[in-house]
Amino acid sequence: MSMKVNNFEDFKLENLYLSELRSVVSLYKQLVNQNSSSEHVNSVEELTIDFGLPLAVLLEAKQVVGYAAAIVNPYHQVEINCIFFDEIHRHEFQDALIAKAKNNFNQAFEDGEQQLLRLTSAIERLIYWLNL
């Protein structure tokens, strides 16, 4: 039996705003630290290019519970990566969150051979700024 999220009206898919960036970074670090076998309490101090460029968020009662980011995968292709606070949220909202992020990505980065370069540059600038 799969658990369903009860009240969809409590959830909102939104564009990412600067005010939510701190929550997105916190969610990312929390998840990466959970998945790392490191003994350090804060194994992620600095963000790396793997953080990507966040494009859309899932909010529950104004709290960020998930987000989608554009990343450059190991094959040098653009990919939308979703991170969720809870796997139930992934089950319910991943497709819609990916669609919203792709739409935002396509509006910001038109197709072409420069797309990957511009995305990489945008990610690098963002993580440099966030790591200051």
- How would you list the strands of the sheet with 63-72, edge to edge? 11-15, 53-60, 63-72, 78-84
Residue 53 lies in a domain: yes
CATH number at residue 32: 3.40.630
Domain of residue 54, residue span: 11-131
Domain count, the chain: 1
pLDDT per position in the chain (132 positions), as tens?
344 555 667 899 999 999 999 999 999 999 888 877 655 555 667 899 999 999 999 999 989 999 999 999 999 999 999 999 998 999 999 999 999 999 999 999 988 879 999 999 999 999 999 999
Specify the pTM: 0.86
Q: Residue 109 corresponds to which tokens in the numbers above?
A: 């980065």
Contact 87, 8 (CB under 8 A): no
